[in-house]
Amino acid sequence: MVINGKFEWIRNVLWPRVGLAFLCLVFTLCSASVLADNGASVTVRAKDLQHEATKIAFVVIRGGKALLTDFAQELAHAITYSKQCDVDLIRSKRTSVLRSHDTIKSSYLKKLEQQGYDFALVLHQIKREIEWSLYSVDDASFIGGKRIKINKKNVHAKALTVAQDNWQYLFSDRGPFMSQIAYCVKQGSGGQVIKRIYRADFDGSNPRLVVGMPTINVAPRWNDDSDYPLLYYSEMAATNVRLMASNMDGKRRLICDMDGLNMLASFAGNDVAFCLSAGGTSQVYLYKDASGKGKRFVQITHNKGNNIYPQLLAGGDIIFCSDFESRSPKIYRYYSKNKDVSRLVSGNGFFASPAYSTVTDSVAYTKLVAGVSQLFVHDCTTGKSRQLTSSKGHKEECAWSPCGSFLVFSVSKSRSSRIAMMHVPTKRWWYVSPKNQECSYPTWSGYFNRYF
């Protein structure tokens, strides 16, 4: 049996013996160019879109120091990352762009409109501050702007904050900029394998070690706190798989140490759903507020199957995978109002890894197609599903960005496993982890109120 047939092995051998509760343990698993000094523009070009990209002129006022250049490059990378925008970085004299009272000249915007731009973002350094102003070029109207304090240490963080502000003006959502992904990295071989957990910026850049213990740590999940983010994950111990948590500095604490598996936490406010398998099958539990009486455990599923991958929704509903009606897992929804459980996604086959987006009211999931796990998305409003991928390599463990426009997932081919990202509206996807790392279990945070 070849290693590339992992899902065949799971379905035919592993599944009948140990069930879905053990499934997650067997997975071993753009940049902006420099500013021209002669006033010419250097283009960061978006390609391969089904829809025409928004064209923005980044007008950088000359006279600023290297800090302004660095900031413009960081901001351009963030804005163009999804290929929804084209950005030209243009250096201009202050007198060519601004009036004496620092408002932009309408004649300058008219020239930009003639050159095909939709918007202009003017960047101007004033001592230790950078002022940015966004304009619509067709009617020369001011859209928004701000003056920010900046230094060499916070250029990257400030660029992501400004990218979020401008994205809100341009597309009426916050984009993915002030969020992060986390994932596992396999190290070692044979009997010396360990898995550590890293976190990275929204685009996979700047990876930082979070859990560096020389053990096997898998299935990280973010809590629902914009000010104090935590990563919950499962650590393989001598007698069980225990649920742990870590802050952004790597300080760990034990959360749940019951017999069996303690895995896959999902948060909605202060409530959390996760899986326990002490009784021989994996069941979904809810740890929630109990009308002023503190927290209490509530068992949600009561069947003889294995129930896993819970996704806790804000209203108390839970989407999860279970095999209680068939030998292979399907996707179900638990309705908190009447405590009813019903099938959410129709169809035959092996379903896994449901991930819910509040923004789009959609569930992304994986399903075996011709022996290969592919990505799908199910619209909970219309009840219709569509396939997102059809290429080689098993797509596993998907998670939504908080803006609902991107998915992060792992792609397994032969003995390699890498983290990939997709812009869902265009189905365009790319890798964000290097070839020389074996990465798995990606997850995406909510929005942070500051850069961590």
Q: What is the CATH number of the domain that holds 60?
A: 3.40.50.10070
Query: Mind listing the pLDDT tens digit for each residue in 163-182?
Result: 999 999 999 999 999 999 99
pLDDT above 90 for 327 = no
Same domain, 208 and 323: yes
Instruction: Say if CB 295 and CB 288 are below 8 A apart.
Output: yes
Domain boundary among 171, 201, 226: 171
296 falls within a domain: yes
User: Does 231 lie in the same domain as 344?
Assistant: yes
- Domain stops at, among 120, 137, 171: 171
Q: Are residues 149 and 186 in the same domain?
A: no
Q: What is the pLDDT of residue 263?
A: 79
- Give the amino acid at 292: G
128 and 236 inside one domain: no
Q: Are both 193 and 330 inside the same structural domain? A: yes
Tell me what the pLDDT averaged over the chain comes to.
85
Task: Give the integer Cα–Cα distance in Å for 435 and 277.
Answer: 35
pLDDT for 29 equals 26
Q: Which strands, in side-by-side order, build the sheet including 362-369?
A: 351-357, 362-369, 372-379, 385-387
Under 8 Å between Cβ of 409 and 395: yes
Look at residue 450 and tell me if it is in a domain: no
pLDDT in tens, 261-306: 777 889 998 899 988 886 778 999 998 865 556 667 889 999 999 9
Look at residue 363 and tell me whether its pLDDT is greater than 80. yes
40 or 293, greater pLDDT: 293
Range with top average pLDDT, 26-30, 264-268, 271-275, 356-360: 356-360
Indicate whether 67 and 105 sit together in one domain. Answer: yes
- Per-residue pLDDT at 51: 61
Mean pLDDT of 52-64: 86
- What CA–CA distances, in Å, run from 302 to 115, 282, 284, 298, 347? 64, 10, 9, 11, 23
List pLDDT tens digits, range 137-152.
999 899 999 999 999 9
Percent of the chain with pLDDT over 90: 67
Q: Do 9 and 93 share a domain, yes or no?
A: no
Does 152 share its domain with 265? no
Whether residue 203 is found in the same domain as residue 266: yes
Where does residue 166 fall: left (phi above 0), alpha (psi -120 to 50 degrees), or beta otherwise? alpha
**Is there a domain that residue 326 lies in?**
yes
**449 lies in some domain:** no
Would you state the pLDDT for residue 12? 40
Indicate whether 268 and 310 sit together in one domain.
yes
The boundaries of the domain holding residue 367 are 3-29+176-444
Give pLDDT, residue 361: 96
Among 109, 137, 171, the domain boundary falls at: 171
pLDDT score at 241: 87
pLDDT tier at 101 (50, 70, 90 boundaries)?
low
Q: Does 34 map to a domain?
A: no
Mean pLDDT check: name the lowest of 12-21, 23-32, 206-215, 248-257: 23-32
Q: Which CATH number does the domain housing residue 425 bear?
A: 2.120.10.30
Q: How many domains does the chain have?
A: 2
pLDDT for 289 equals 66
d(CA 434, CA 438): 8
Is there a single domain that holds both residue 208 and residue 110? no
More confident residue, 32 or 314: 314
Nearest to residue 332, comparing CAs of 324, 385, 377?
Answer: 324
Say if residue 218 is in the same domain as residue 114.
Answer: no
pLDDT confidence band for 64 (50 / 70 / 90): low
**pTM for this entry:** 0.85
pLDDT tens readout for residues 205-244: 999 999 999 999 999 999 999 999 999 999 998 888 888 9
pLDDT at 3 (0 to 100): 31
**Domain annotation covers residue 190:** yes
